Structure 1
Amino acid sequence: MMRFVMLSIVALAMAGCASNVVTDYNSSVVFGNYSSWAFAPSAGADSSPFVSLDGSRIKDAIARELSQEALREVPLAEADLLVSWQIVEEDRLEQTGVGLGFGFGSGNFGWALSAPPPVREVEEGKLVVELADAETKQVVWRAASRRYLNEDQSPETRRELIDEVVSEMFSKYPPGLD
């Protein structure tokens, strides 16, 4: 029993240390050559002509983080980097309980019957931020988060979570410094 408790504690500690952000980048790019940025024309756009509340929060957080990286926001025509973001919807399966079973036997032989744990499908979205070279229009850096907003969160909680996620993303920019 003690072994199970220790394994559970180690698993929880490892899950807490795991990064919620995954980044990718073009290793041949010299990121020090970039000094300015602008949002790409379709940044975070969907079929609506309006910027959502969360969209505004995301744009504000990205602008704040890029300014901390000594990059200045300029008009689109003057930018070195184009910034694009989107929320990508995903479905994932989640176990909602434990499996049940019973068995019997003697010696080295026995029989068992079990039922798997119940599973439900959960629809979620992840934030993806991409930086593209303005001249070549090629993505040079990408970050994706696996932390999710839900409809029950207050506006303040949503803003704090977005700020935290975007900050974690840009803690890995420019790449190669960690």
Structure 2
Amino acid sequence: MKVILVSLFLMALAGCASNVVTDYDSNAVFGNYSSWAFAPKGKDQSFTSLDGGRIESAVERELNRKAMRKVEQSEADLLVTWQVVEEERLERSGVGLGFGFGSGNFGWGLSSAPPVREIQEGKLVVELVDTETDRVVWRAASRRYLNENQATESRRELIDEIVADMFEKYPPGA
């Protein structure tokens, strides 16, 4: 019974772990920000990718919920930048194999580790930049990852969830 209670407690505790990490400039007065715009794209990119469109729609929806107006870049209090930071990780798939023999307190064994494969993933990072100081005043990074194996609908849902989680923590202290 103790094992079951401890297991339930640990699962509940793991469920409370945040899927995003935020940071902010403690000197920024977030009450002064009422308008925003997306920062201009880089010189190399003149288009919006599929995930980029999903991210921008989600950011726009969340900032609208915060009663912030989307305006032209020259009139904005904040510029929104975002990027998907690619990371590689190793994943073990399957199980290892092993066998052994012996008797009593002595024996021999042989085993192989499970197969390992490299996975490319991306974590979403969103930053808000004060247009007067050109400094980042708020930053959120996801602990959940996008990968190429996800279906279109699950990618959209994941992006919506991640961005909603990010902006739950904006403005800081609210």
- Aligned residue pairs total 171
- More strand per residue: 2
Taking the TM superposition and a 5 Å limit, the aligned residue runs for 1:1-178 are 3=3, 11-42=10-41, 45=42, 47-100=44-97, 115-145=112-142, 146-154=144-152, 156-177=153-174
TM-score, normalised to structure 1, is 0.79
Q: 1:118 to 1:7 in 2, by over 3 A?
A: farther
Is 1:147–1:165's contact at 8 Å kept on the other side of the alignment?
no
Q: Which moved more, 1:130-139 or 1:111-120?
A: 111-120
CA deviation vs aligned residue, 1:50-101 (integer Å, no higher than 9, x gap):
1112211111111111111121111111111110011111001112234455
**Where does the alignment leave 5 or more consecutive residues of structure 1 unmatched?**
none
Q: 1:48 to 1:29 in 2, by over 3 A?
A: closer
**Where does the alignment leave 5 or more consecutive residues of structure 2 unmatched?**
none
User: Percent same amino acid at aligned positions?
Assistant: 62
Is 1:105–1:111's contact at 8 Å kept on the other side of the alignment?
no
TM-score, normalised to structure 2, is 0.81
Distance (whole Å) between structure 2 residues aligned to residue 8 and residue 95 of structure 1: 24
C-alpha root-mean-square deviation of aligned residues, in Å? 2.9
Q: 1:51 to 1:118 in 2, by over 3 A?
A: same
Q: Which moved more, 1:66-75 or 1:8-17?
A: 8-17
